[in-house]
Amino acid sequence: MAVDEQLKIEMGKQGVFVTTLQELYNWGRRSSIWPMNFGLACCAIEMIATTMARYDLARFGAEVFRPSPRQADMMIISGTVTKKMAPQVVRLYNQMAEPRYVIAMGACAISGGPFKQGYNVLKGIDRYIPVDVHIPGCPPRPEALLEAFMTLQKKIDAQPLTGEARPRHLDEQAPGEFPVPEQGAHDLEPPANKSVWTVPVVIR
Amino acid sequence: MAFNPYFSLAVLFVVALCFGLTPLALAWLWSRVFSPQKPNAIKNAIYECGLESKGDAWVQFRSSYYLYAIIFLIFDVEAVFLLPFAVAFLGLGAAACVSMLVFVLLLVEGLVWAWAKGVLTWA
Protein backbone atom coordinates (compact mmCIF):
# COMPACT_ATOMS: atom_id res chain seq x y z
CA MET A 1 0.00 0.00 0.00
CA ALA A 2 1.78 3.06 -1.25
CA VAL A 3 1.40 6.38 0.52
CA ASP A 4 0.13 9.32 -1.51
CA GLU A 5 3.16 11.30 -2.70
CA GLN A 6 1.69 14.70 -1.82
CA LEU A 7 0.67 13.49 1.66
CA LYS A 8 4.18 12.16 2.20
CA ILE A 9 5.72 15.57 1.45
CA GLU A 10 3.23 17.27 3.78
CA MET A 11 4.03 14.84 6.60
CA GLY A 12 7.75 15.30 5.91
CA LYS A 13 7.32 19.02 6.55
CA GLN A 14 5.77 18.16 9.93
CA GLY A 15 8.71 15.92 10.77
CA VAL A 16 7.00 12.59 10.15
CA PHE A 17 8.90 10.18 7.93
CA VAL A 18 6.85 7.57 6.11
CA THR A 19 8.24 4.79 3.97
CA THR A 20 7.44 1.33 2.67
CA LEU A 21 9.47 -1.85 3.01
CA GLN A 22 9.96 -1.87 -0.74
CA GLU A 23 11.37 1.66 -0.78
CA LEU A 24 13.70 0.85 2.09
CA TYR A 25 14.88 -2.37 0.42
CA ASN A 26 15.49 -0.65 -2.92
CA TRP A 27 17.20 2.29 -1.22
CA GLY A 28 19.63 -0.13 0.39
CA ARG A 29 20.14 -1.95 -2.89
CA ARG A 30 20.82 1.11 -5.00
CA SER A 31 23.07 2.78 -2.43
CA SER A 32 25.51 -0.11 -2.00
CA ILE A 33 26.44 -1.23 -5.49
CA TRP A 34 29.92 -2.73 -5.40
CA PRO A 35 31.53 -2.76 -8.84
CA MET A 36 34.05 -5.35 -9.89
CA ASN A 37 37.61 -4.17 -10.30
CA PHE A 38 38.51 -4.94 -13.86
CA GLY A 39 39.08 -2.96 -17.04
CA LEU A 40 39.31 -4.20 -20.59
CA ALA A 41 40.60 -1.26 -22.63
CA CYS A 42 40.85 2.53 -22.78
CA CYS A 43 37.36 3.00 -21.24
CA ALA A 44 38.86 1.61 -18.04
CA ILE A 45 40.94 4.81 -17.73
CA GLU A 46 37.72 6.85 -17.73
CA MET A 47 36.27 4.42 -15.19
CA ILE A 48 39.31 4.97 -12.95
CA ALA A 49 38.92 8.73 -13.34
CA THR A 50 35.27 8.40 -12.27
CA THR A 51 36.28 6.77 -9.00
CA MET A 52 38.81 9.51 -8.18
CA ALA A 53 38.15 12.67 -6.18
CA ARG A 54 37.21 14.93 -9.10
CA TYR A 55 34.19 12.91 -10.22
CA ASP A 56 33.78 11.03 -6.92
CA LEU A 57 31.80 7.88 -7.52
CA ALA A 58 31.61 7.51 -3.72
CA ARG A 59 28.64 9.92 -3.75
CA PHE A 60 26.58 7.03 -5.17
CA GLY A 61 27.87 4.44 -2.70
CA ALA A 62 29.69 2.64 -5.47
CA GLU A 63 33.34 3.40 -4.75
CA VAL A 64 34.14 -0.01 -3.26
CA PHE A 65 35.73 -1.72 -6.26
CA ARG A 66 36.24 -5.36 -5.33
CA PRO A 67 39.01 -7.46 -6.88
CA SER A 68 36.94 -10.66 -6.61
CA PRO A 69 33.59 -11.45 -8.26
CA ARG A 70 32.50 -13.11 -5.01
CA GLN A 71 32.18 -9.70 -3.35
CA ALA A 72 31.01 -7.63 -6.31
CA ASP A 73 27.51 -7.17 -7.67
CA MET A 74 28.12 -4.89 -10.62
CA MET A 75 30.24 -5.40 -13.69
CA ILE A 76 31.36 -2.44 -15.78
CA ILE A 77 32.33 -3.79 -19.20
CA SER A 78 34.82 -1.02 -19.81
CA GLY A 79 36.18 -1.44 -23.28
CA THR A 80 36.69 -3.74 -26.23
CA VAL A 81 35.63 -7.34 -25.61
CA THR A 82 37.75 -9.45 -27.89
CA LYS A 83 36.61 -12.94 -28.74
CA LYS A 84 39.53 -14.27 -26.74
CA MET A 85 38.42 -12.32 -23.65
CA ALA A 86 34.66 -12.92 -23.94
CA PRO A 87 34.61 -16.38 -22.24
CA GLN A 88 36.50 -14.97 -19.26
CA VAL A 89 34.10 -12.03 -18.96
CA VAL A 90 31.07 -14.34 -19.08
CA ARG A 91 32.65 -16.68 -16.52
CA LEU A 92 33.34 -13.77 -14.16
CA TYR A 93 29.75 -12.61 -14.56
CA ASN A 94 28.61 -16.11 -13.61
CA GLN A 95 30.81 -16.08 -10.52
CA MET A 96 29.38 -12.81 -9.20
CA ALA A 97 26.94 -12.75 -6.31
CA GLU A 98 23.23 -12.02 -6.80
CA PRO A 99 21.75 -9.46 -7.38
CA ARG A 100 24.09 -8.54 -10.21
CA TYR A 101 24.02 -5.70 -12.68
CA VAL A 102 25.96 -4.91 -15.85
CA ILE A 103 26.89 -1.55 -17.39
CA ALA A 104 28.22 -1.82 -20.93
CA MET A 105 30.54 1.15 -21.24
CA GLY A 106 31.54 2.58 -24.58
CA ALA A 107 30.97 1.84 -28.25
CA CYS A 108 33.03 -1.38 -28.19
CA ALA A 109 31.19 -2.98 -25.29
CA ILE A 110 27.75 -2.21 -26.69
CA SER A 111 28.34 -3.04 -30.35
CA GLY A 112 31.98 -3.70 -31.20
CA GLY A 113 32.51 0.00 -31.96
CA PRO A 114 35.17 0.83 -34.55
CA PHE A 115 36.17 -2.84 -34.61
CA LYS A 116 32.69 -4.08 -35.52
CA GLN A 117 33.80 -5.21 -38.98
CA GLY A 118 36.85 -6.97 -37.57
CA TYR A 119 37.19 -10.73 -37.12
CA ASN A 120 38.30 -10.80 -33.52
CA VAL A 121 36.02 -8.44 -31.59
CA LEU A 122 32.71 -9.39 -30.04
CA LYS A 123 29.91 -7.25 -31.45
CA GLY A 124 28.45 -6.30 -28.10
CA ILE A 125 28.65 -8.11 -24.74
CA ASP A 126 24.83 -8.25 -24.59
CA ARG A 127 25.09 -11.30 -26.86
CA TYR A 128 26.03 -13.37 -23.80
CA ILE A 129 24.92 -11.58 -20.63
CA PRO A 130 21.95 -9.33 -19.81
CA VAL A 131 23.06 -5.68 -19.80
CA ASP A 132 21.22 -3.14 -17.63
CA VAL A 133 22.60 0.13 -18.98
CA HIS A 134 24.39 0.87 -22.26
CA ILE A 135 26.49 4.04 -22.55
CA PRO A 136 27.70 5.19 -25.95
CA GLY A 137 30.93 7.12 -26.45
CA CYS A 138 34.49 6.40 -27.46
CA PRO A 139 35.39 6.52 -24.63
CA PRO A 140 32.43 7.93 -22.65
CA ARG A 141 33.36 10.76 -20.29
CA PRO A 142 33.20 10.14 -16.53
CA GLU A 143 29.98 12.16 -16.47
CA ALA A 144 28.47 9.60 -18.83
CA LEU A 145 29.43 6.78 -16.47
CA LEU A 146 27.88 8.71 -13.57
CA GLU A 147 24.74 9.11 -15.66
CA ALA A 148 24.75 5.34 -16.20
CA PHE A 149 24.99 4.83 -12.44
CA MET A 150 22.07 7.14 -11.86
CA THR A 151 20.06 5.38 -14.56
CA LEU A 152 20.78 2.04 -12.89
CA GLN A 153 19.77 3.45 -9.51
CA LYS A 154 16.49 4.73 -10.97
CA LYS A 155 15.93 1.31 -12.52
CA ILE A 156 16.51 -0.41 -9.17
CA ASP A 157 14.27 2.10 -7.39
CA ALA A 158 11.38 1.42 -9.77
CA GLN A 159 11.46 -2.36 -9.32
CA PRO A 160 8.59 -3.83 -7.28
CA LEU A 161 9.60 -6.69 -4.96
CA THR A 162 6.72 -8.95 -5.98
CA GLY A 163 4.94 -9.75 -9.21
CA GLU A 164 6.19 -10.21 -12.75
CA ALA A 165 8.58 -7.25 -12.77
CA ARG A 166 10.42 -8.23 -9.57
CA PRO A 167 14.23 -8.21 -9.63
CA ARG A 168 16.06 -11.27 -10.91
CA HIS A 169 17.48 -12.36 -7.57
CA LEU A 170 14.01 -12.63 -5.98
CA ASP A 171 12.73 -14.75 -8.87
CA GLU A 172 13.32 -18.47 -8.25
CA GLN A 173 12.83 -19.27 -11.94
CA ALA A 174 15.22 -16.63 -13.30
CA PRO A 175 18.38 -18.22 -14.73
CA GLY A 176 21.53 -17.93 -12.60
CA GLU A 177 23.89 -19.57 -15.03
CA PHE A 178 24.78 -18.11 -18.40
CA PRO A 179 26.67 -20.52 -20.68
CA VAL A 180 30.32 -19.64 -21.20
CA PRO A 181 31.20 -19.61 -24.93
CA GLU A 182 34.13 -21.64 -26.20
CA GLN A 183 36.61 -20.97 -28.97
CA GLY A 184 35.36 -22.69 -32.13
CA ALA A 185 37.11 -23.10 -35.46
CA HIS A 186 36.00 -19.72 -36.81
CA ASP A 187 34.00 -18.01 -34.08
CA LEU A 188 32.87 -18.39 -30.50
CA GLU A 189 30.58 -21.38 -29.93
CA PRO A 190 27.72 -20.53 -29.57
CA PRO A 191 27.93 -17.11 -31.30
CA ALA A 192 25.23 -15.73 -28.96
CA ASN A 193 23.11 -16.75 -25.99
CA LYS A 194 19.62 -17.12 -27.46
CA SER A 195 17.86 -16.49 -24.13
CA VAL A 196 19.32 -12.98 -23.72
CA TRP A 197 19.90 -11.86 -27.32
CA THR A 198 18.13 -12.41 -30.60
CA VAL A 199 19.31 -11.37 -34.03
CA PRO A 200 17.80 -7.94 -34.70
CA VAL A 201 15.59 -7.70 -37.74
CA VAL A 202 16.90 -5.18 -40.28
CA ILE A 203 14.14 -3.15 -41.88
CA ARG A 204 15.19 -1.59 -45.18
CA MET B 1 30.60 -15.46 47.61
CA ALA B 2 34.37 -14.96 47.92
CA PHE B 3 35.44 -12.29 45.46
CA ASN B 4 38.07 -13.57 43.09
CA PRO B 5 40.54 -10.84 42.00
CA TYR B 6 40.52 -12.30 38.49
CA PHE B 7 36.72 -12.02 38.20
CA SER B 8 36.83 -8.65 36.38
CA LEU B 9 39.33 -10.11 33.89
CA ALA B 10 36.94 -12.96 33.16
CA VAL B 11 34.13 -10.47 32.55
CA LEU B 12 36.34 -8.48 30.20
CA PHE B 13 37.28 -11.67 28.39
CA VAL B 14 33.66 -12.57 27.80
CA VAL B 15 32.86 -9.02 26.62
CA ALA B 16 35.82 -9.09 24.22
CA LEU B 17 34.68 -12.45 22.88
CA CYS B 18 31.14 -11.15 22.32
CA PHE B 19 32.50 -7.99 20.65
CA GLY B 20 34.21 -10.13 18.02
CA LEU B 21 31.64 -12.88 17.63
CA THR B 22 28.39 -10.87 17.59
CA PRO B 23 28.99 -9.11 14.21
CA LEU B 24 30.06 -12.45 12.70
CA ALA B 25 26.96 -14.17 14.02
CA LEU B 26 24.71 -11.35 12.81
CA ALA B 27 26.30 -11.44 9.35
CA TRP B 28 25.87 -15.21 9.22
CA LEU B 29 22.24 -14.96 10.31
CA TRP B 30 21.54 -12.16 7.82
CA SER B 31 22.97 -14.15 4.93
CA ARG B 32 21.03 -17.27 6.03
CA VAL B 33 17.72 -15.41 6.03
CA PHE B 34 18.00 -12.82 3.26
CA SER B 35 20.70 -13.71 0.75
CA PRO B 36 19.41 -14.87 -2.63
CA GLN B 37 21.14 -18.22 -3.08
CA LYS B 38 21.68 -19.15 -6.69
CA PRO B 39 24.53 -21.60 -6.88
CA ASN B 40 25.64 -23.31 -10.08
CA ALA B 41 28.65 -25.17 -11.34
CA ILE B 42 30.42 -22.13 -12.81
CA LYS B 43 29.73 -19.98 -9.74
CA ASN B 44 31.08 -22.60 -7.35
CA ALA B 45 34.19 -23.21 -9.44
CA ILE B 46 37.57 -21.99 -8.24
CA TYR B 47 38.06 -18.28 -8.96
CA GLU B 48 41.11 -17.66 -11.10
CA CYS B 49 40.57 -14.29 -12.82
CA GLY B 50 37.96 -15.77 -15.14
CA LEU B 51 40.13 -18.58 -16.42
CA GLU B 52 39.49 -22.22 -15.68
CA SER B 53 41.90 -23.46 -13.06
CA LYS B 54 44.33 -26.15 -14.18
CA GLY B 55 46.17 -28.75 -12.12
CA ASP B 56 46.42 -29.13 -8.36
CA ALA B 57 47.35 -26.61 -5.70
CA TRP B 58 49.37 -29.31 -3.87
CA VAL B 59 52.82 -28.79 -5.38
CA GLN B 60 55.80 -31.00 -4.48
CA PHE B 61 59.13 -29.48 -3.45
CA ARG B 62 62.48 -31.26 -3.87
CA SER B 63 63.66 -32.88 -0.64
CA SER B 64 67.26 -31.67 -1.25
CA TYR B 65 66.11 -28.21 -0.13
CA TYR B 66 65.44 -29.79 3.26
CA LEU B 67 69.05 -31.03 3.58
CA TYR B 68 70.41 -27.62 2.64
CA ALA B 69 68.21 -26.06 5.31
CA ILE B 70 69.49 -28.52 7.95
CA ILE B 71 73.16 -27.88 7.10
CA PHE B 72 72.59 -24.13 7.12
CA LEU B 73 70.90 -24.38 10.52
CA ILE B 74 73.87 -26.30 12.03
CA PHE B 75 76.35 -23.59 11.14
CA ASP B 76 73.91 -20.83 11.96
CA VAL B 77 73.63 -22.12 15.54
CA GLU B 78 77.38 -22.70 15.67
CA ALA B 79 78.00 -19.03 14.93
CA VAL B 80 75.70 -18.07 17.82
CA PHE B 81 77.82 -20.15 20.25
CA LEU B 82 81.17 -19.07 18.74
CA LEU B 83 80.50 -15.36 19.15
CA PRO B 84 80.45 -15.22 23.00
CA PHE B 85 83.42 -17.62 22.96
CA ALA B 86 85.41 -15.26 20.75
CA VAL B 87 84.48 -12.23 22.90
CA ALA B 88 85.66 -13.93 26.14
CA PHE B 89 88.59 -15.75 24.46
CA LEU B 90 91.47 -13.98 26.31
CA GLY B 91 90.05 -14.76 29.76
CA LEU B 92 89.42 -18.46 29.11
CA GLY B 93 91.48 -21.44 30.22
CA ALA B 94 92.71 -24.44 28.21
CA ALA B 95 89.69 -26.58 29.23
CA ALA B 96 87.22 -24.11 27.68
CA CYS B 97 89.22 -23.98 24.42
CA VAL B 98 89.35 -27.79 24.19
CA SER B 99 85.58 -28.15 24.81
CA MET B 100 84.88 -25.53 22.14
CA LEU B 101 87.20 -27.39 19.75
CA VAL B 102 85.24 -30.61 20.39
CA PHE B 103 82.02 -28.76 19.68
CA VAL B 104 83.30 -27.37 16.37
CA LEU B 105 84.82 -30.73 15.37
CA LEU B 106 81.49 -32.46 15.99
CA LEU B 107 79.82 -30.07 13.55
CA VAL B 108 82.66 -30.45 11.05
CA GLU B 109 82.14 -34.21 11.27
CA GLY B 110 78.52 -33.62 10.29
CA LEU B 111 79.65 -31.55 7.33
CA VAL B 112 82.15 -34.22 6.24
CA TRP B 113 79.39 -36.83 6.45
CA ALA B 114 77.09 -34.67 4.31
CA TRP B 115 79.90 -34.06 1.83
CA ALA B 116 80.66 -37.79 1.59
CA LYS B 117 76.95 -38.48 1.04
CA GLY B 118 77.03 -36.12 -1.95
CA VAL B 119 74.53 -33.69 -0.49
CA LEU B 120 76.61 -30.68 -1.51
CA THR B 121 76.60 -31.74 -5.16
CA TRP B 122 73.53 -30.36 -6.92
CA ALA B 123 71.87 -33.16 -8.82
Of A94, A99, A169, the CB nearest to B43: A94
A177 vs B50: CB contact, 8 Å cut-off?
A: no
Long-range contacts of B72-81 (CB under 8 A, 24+ apart): B74/B107, B74/B110, B74/B111, B75/B107, B75/B111, B78/B103, B78/B104, B78/B107
Question: What's the pLDDT tens digit per position in B52-78?
Answer: 888 887 888 777 777 888 888 888 888
Question: Rounded to an integer, what distance in angstroms lies between the CA atom of residue A9 and that of residue A131?
Answer: 35
**pLDDT of res. A2:** 65
Closest chain A residue by Cα to residue B50: A88
Residue B14: its pLDDT value, please?
Answer: 97
* Contact yes or no for A177 and B43 at CB 8 A: yes
pLDDT at A102: 95
Q: What is the ipTM of this complex?
A: 0.76
Length of chain A: 204
What's the pLDDT at A1?
Answer: 52
CA distance B51 to chain A (A): 6
Residue A36: closest C-alpha in chain B = B49
Domain boundaries, chain B: 64-117
Beta pairing class for A74-78 and A133-135? unpaired
Lowest mean pLDDT among A36-50, A71-85, B8-22, B34-48: B34-48
> Bridge-partner residues for A188, per DSSP?
A183
Cβ-Cβ pairs closer than 8 A, A with B, add up to 38
Mean pLDDT across chain B: 87
**B contacts of A94 (beta carbons < 8 Å):** 40, 42-43
CA of B40 vs chain A CAs: smallest distance (Å): 6
Positions of chain A with pLDDT under 70: 1-2
Q: How far is B37 from chain A (nearest CA, A)?
A: 8
Determine, for residues B43 and A170 on separate chains, whether the beta-carbon distance falls below 8 Å: no
